[in-house]
């Protein structure tokens, strides 16, 4: 990891003021995948608009000194009957779903800002916005970055609990969970 750059992190609890910046960063982060149906801009925008109206939607955007958005993370609060859990194979253990949890839906960072600690800052700031949910879950493409992305999440305390395929166009994803607050971690 290189030196952490100066950034401003902004937290949003409504989609409208963050939408354009989220889409702009997404297009850059996923530029090499935009030709695939699941990663197409239209598919992302549809998901973003749907997620933005879901309970507990929260986003954190990172901005460089010049005001350019360089990264983002966003989540929703989910309950035991949420379709998020229903797509897990096997179905998650009761301890993970007996209380509302956080579903980390997206985390993306422009290339020049990777390996600077910014993604962890986005992640931890997002989790800090959720004060009552005991668990956070995410889905990651195990092939992303040659497996590096999943290993990064594992280094943050996530454990794979199964697989998920949210849509027919989606790759099979690793379904991961961890406590929202790790003992000894400043989240």
Q: For 139-169, write each residue's pLDDT tens digit.
A: 999 998 899 999 999 999 999 999 999 888 8
* 128, pLDDT greater than 80: yes
- Distance between the two ends of the chain, CA-based, in angstroms? 19
The range of the structural domain enclosing residue 25 comes to 8-179
Q: Which pLDDT tens digit goes with each residue over 89-120?
A: 999 999 999 999 999 999 999 999 999 999 99
**Is residue 33 in some structural domain?**
yes
Mean of the per-residue pLDDT values of the chain: 92
**Is residue 3 in some structural domain?**
no
- In the chain, the number of structural domains is 1
User: What is the CATH number for 25?
Assistant: 3.40.630.30
**Is residue 184 in some structural domain?**
no
**Is residue 104 in some structural domain?**
yes
pLDDT of residue 3: 58
Residue-wise DSSP of 78-127: E-TT-HHHHTEESPPPHHHHSS-EEEEEEEEE-GGGTTTTHHHHHHHHHH
**Is residue 155 in some structural domain?**
yes
pLDDT of residue 4: 60
**Is residue 172 in some structural domain?**
yes
Q: What's the pTM value of the predicted model, to 2 decimals? A: 0.91
On the CB side of 187, how many CA atoms lie within 13 Å of its CA?
Answer: 25
């Amino acid at each position: 990891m290189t030196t952490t750059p100066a950034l401003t992190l902004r937290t949003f609890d409504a989609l409208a003021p963050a939408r354009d910046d989220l889409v702009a960063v997404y297009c850059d982060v996923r530029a090499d995948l935009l030709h695939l149906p699941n990663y197409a801009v239209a598919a992302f925008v549809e998901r973003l608009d749907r997620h933005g109206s879901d309970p507990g939607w929260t986003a954190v955007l990172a901005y460089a000194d010049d005001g350019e958005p360089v990264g983002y993370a966003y989540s929703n609060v989910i309950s035991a009957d949420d379709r998020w859990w229903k797509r897990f194979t096997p179905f998650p253990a009761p301890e993970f779903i007996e209380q509302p949890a956080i579903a980390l839906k997206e985390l993306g960072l422009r290339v020049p800002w990777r390996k600077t600690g910014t993604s962890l800052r986005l992640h931890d700031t997002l989790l800090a916005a959720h004060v009552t949910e005991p668990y956070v879950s995410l889905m990651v493409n195990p092939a992303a970055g040659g497996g590096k992305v999943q290993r990064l999440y594992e280094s943050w305390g996530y454990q794979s609990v199964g697989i998920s395929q949210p849509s027919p166009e989606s790759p099979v994803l690793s379904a991961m969970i961890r406590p929202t607050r790790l003992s000894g971690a400043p989240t």
